[in-house]
């Protein structure tokens, strides 16, 4: 089904030439400021890039602003993109000179300009310091883009429906769908007074009761209340849900039904230990959704809100974010975990047993290479998980990534045994300390442990239900 009705006439005029043929890759730097290429904002799929700026929140890419230098090395990656998204807080309060530089550089590359921002206002009873409730800065950020000489093409709303309707923690609002739709619609109209051709859509997390069916209700209610549609819906997936591809595909079906584009945000995990792991995790999600599940999102968003990747440049560096974007278009099947990582981690995708597990958090999730998923026993200590490595190996290290709330004192021991019928588990090492969620516990013996086929991780004490995000067993044999 065509999804072009949200593209406004003036933008269609800008697109006429650019959308009839693929974007031409840049070869010698961004286009001349005097002759920027036409925008191609109705490209399908529409590709967005939204790295995180370190300066605003104290985490993100240290070279973010270098993206906007005249000779910055990401021409191939940029040639495939249509939209660059800023974070609304940076657009609102970041250095004005940098904002002007970014706006100019983004336009010179022929990219549309977007930002992400919360549109709702807290009241006396709820919404204070809650995501989505940043309305006091929303229009300020829009106006600041105009003051900097920019034209804002898109706003992606920062999860207003989930946080105002489903969230049940401190300062929860539990507002009706109709009220949220009305408040959001009013903010959109005010923003369009500043930029009449502004396209405004939504980002929402797909998790728990906020599933695909719930967001169909949200889109339908927004239309009924306001008489116009949200221009798109970008999905912030709950990667811990093993059925997330099915939820996303169902959301695509609802989008087709309502004629509203659905977008997928690809991102790594906040727990990923380094840039390479973060990018590999994002790549595995690309492959699982597009190559395995057959997903066809209308928008594809390369984004980070984690403290990774540390660098966006240069695009030739396999640990830089622009390399990931470039490689997605060159050969997305090559994204994800590399052969060396797979070979070194003996536990990866190996058979497991456990003392118990709860639905949706099977033992296999502790050895799937994705720290967004986890095994949970759903009960207190003592509990265990056991991995069959397939045959005896010499083992150089074990690495355990906690899934634990609340934090506190824990005792874990790593046991090993060989393949013989008479072999018994013996303790290899023990971890006794105060631990918290997302913490890596690592141990390497002075000499490798020899002839080990089975590894068992036993938790003897913890203030939390027993769970692990990842259990890694590193071979002493170099691949």
Using DSSP bridges, classify how beta strands 408-417 and 449-461 pair: parallel, antiparallel or unpaired. Answer: antiparallel
- Please give the radius of gyration of the chain, using alpha carbons only, rounded to the nearest integer: 24
Tens digits of per-residue pLDDT, 172-217? 999 999 999 999 999 999 999 999 999 999 999 999 999 999 999 9
Q: Where are the beta strands (DSSP E) in 77-210?
A: 83-87, 112-117, 154-158, 199-206
9-336 and 342-475 have identical folds: no
Helix (H), strand (E) counts: the chain: 13, 16
Token look-up 């859509």 returns 201
User: What's the pLDDT tens digit per position in 57-72?
Assistant: 667 899 999 999 999 9
Model pTM? 0.87
> Are 291 and 333 in contact, with CB atoms under 8 Å apart?
yes
User: Residue 57 has what pLDDT?
Assistant: 61
Segments in 314-387 forming alpha helices (H): 321-331, 339-344
Please say whether the beta carbons of 206 and 236 come within 8 A.
yes
Q: Which superfamily is assigned to 9-336 in CATH?
A: Phosphoenolpyruvate-binding domains (3.20.20.60)
> CB neighbours (10 Å) of residue 253?
13
- Picking from 29, 39, 11, 20, the residue whose alpha carbon sits closest to that of residue 69 is 29
Neighbours of 330 (CB within 10 A): 12
What rounded mean pLDDT belongs to the chain? Answer: 91
Model confidence band, residue 4 (pLDDT cutoffs 50, 70, 90)? very low
- pLDDT tens for residues 287-344? 999 999 999 999 999 999 998 999 999 999 999 999 999 999 999 999 998 888 788 8
Mean pLDDT of 4-28: 37
Domain boundaries, the chain: 9-336, 342-475
Q: What is the pLDDT of residues 345-382, one digit of tens each?
A: 999 999 999 999 999 899 999 999 888 899 999 999 99
- Residue 367: CB atoms within 10 Å: 24
Task: Write down the pLDDT at residue 479.
Answer: 55
Please tell me whether residue 422 adopts helix, strand or coil conformation.
coil
Per-residue pLDDT at 30: 54
Q: What is the pLDDT of residues 419-444, one digit of tens each?
A: 998 899 999 999 999 999 999 999 99
CATH topology of domain 342-475: Jelly Rolls (2.60.120)
Question: Residue 385 pairs with which residues in a beta bridge?
Answer: 354, 457
Cα–Cα distances in Å, from 2 out to 44, 238, 256, 295? 10, 28, 8, 17
Could you give the CA distance from residue 30 to residue 408 in angstroms, rounded to a whole number?
52
Report how far residue 399's alpha carbon sits from residue 441's, in angstroms, rounded to the nearest whole number: 6
Question: Is 264 within 8 Å of 295 (Cβ atoms)?
Answer: yes
Contact by Cβ (8 Å): 87, 59? no
- Residue 421: its H or E element: none
| Cα gap 96→104, rounded to integer Å | 12
Residue 229 is encoded by which pair of tokens?
Answer: 């549609």
With CA atoms as reference, report the closest residue to 459 among 450, 471, 447: 471
Structure tokens at 45: 């799929």
So what's the pLDDT on residue 28? Answer: 42
What token pair was written down for 221? 């209610």
Specify the pairing of strand 199-206 against strand 154-158. parallel
Distance CA 89, CA 200 (A): 17
Inter-axis angle of helices 212-226 and 244-258, nearest 10:
30
């Amino acid at each position: 089904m065509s999804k072009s009705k949200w593209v406004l006439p003036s933008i269609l005029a800008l697109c006429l030439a650019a959308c009839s043929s693929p974007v031409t890759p840049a070869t010698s730097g961004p286009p001349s400021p005097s002759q920027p290429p036409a925008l191609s904002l109705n490209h399908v799929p529409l590709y967005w890039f939204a790295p995180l700026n370190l300066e605003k929140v104290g985490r993100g890419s240290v070279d973010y602003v270098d993206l906007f230098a005249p000779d910055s090395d990401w021409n191939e990656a940029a040639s495939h993109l249509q939209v660059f998204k800023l974070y609304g807080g940076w657009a609102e309060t970041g250095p004005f000179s940098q904002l002007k530089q970014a706006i100019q550089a983004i336009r010179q590359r022929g990219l549309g300009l977007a930002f992400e921002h919360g549109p709702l206002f807290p009241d006396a009873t709820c919404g204070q310091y809650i995501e989505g409730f940043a309305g006091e800065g929303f229009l300020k950020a829009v106006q600041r883009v105009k003051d900097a000489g920019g034209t804002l093409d898109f706003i992606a709303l920062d999860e207003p429906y989930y946080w105002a309707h489903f969230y049940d923690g401190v300062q929860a609002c539990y507002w009706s769908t109709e009220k949220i739709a009305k408040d959001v619609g009013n903010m959109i109209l005010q923003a369009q007074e500043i930029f009449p051709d502004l396209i405004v859509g939504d980002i929402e997390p797909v998790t728990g009761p906020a599933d695909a069916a719930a967001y169909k209700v949200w889109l339908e209610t927004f239309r009924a209340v306001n008489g116009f549609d949200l221009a798109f819906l970008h999905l912030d997936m709950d990667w811990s849900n093993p059925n997330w591809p099915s939820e996303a595909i169902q959301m695509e079906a609802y989008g087709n039904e309502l004629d509203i584009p659905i977008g997928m945000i690809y991102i790594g995990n906040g727990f990923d230990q380094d840039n390479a792991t973060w990018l590999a995790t994002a790549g595995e999600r690309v492959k699982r959704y597009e190559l395995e599940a057959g997903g066809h999102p209308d928008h594809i968003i390369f984004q980070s809100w984690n403290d990774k990747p540390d660098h966006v440049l240069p695009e030739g560096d396999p640990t830089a974010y622009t390399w990931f974007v470039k490689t997605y278009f060159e050969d997305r099947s090559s994204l994800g975990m590399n052969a060396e990582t797979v070979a070194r981690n003996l536990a990866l995708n190996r058979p497991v047993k456990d003392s118990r597990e709860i639905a949706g958090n099977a033992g296999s999730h502790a050895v799937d290479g994705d720290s967004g998923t986890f095994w949970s026993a759903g009960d207190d200590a003592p509990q265990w998980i056991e991995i069959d490595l397939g045959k005896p190996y010499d083992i150089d290290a074990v690495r355990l990534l906690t899934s634990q709330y609340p934090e506190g004192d824990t005792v874990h021991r790593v046991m090993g045994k060989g393949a013989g019928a008479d072999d018994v588990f013996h303790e290899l090492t023990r971890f006794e300390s105060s631990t918290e969620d997302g913490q890596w516990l690592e141990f390497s013996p002075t000499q490798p442990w020899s002839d080990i086929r089975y590894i068992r991780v036993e938790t003897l004490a913890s203030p939390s239900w027993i769970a692990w995000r990842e259990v890694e067993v590193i071979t002493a044999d170099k691949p």
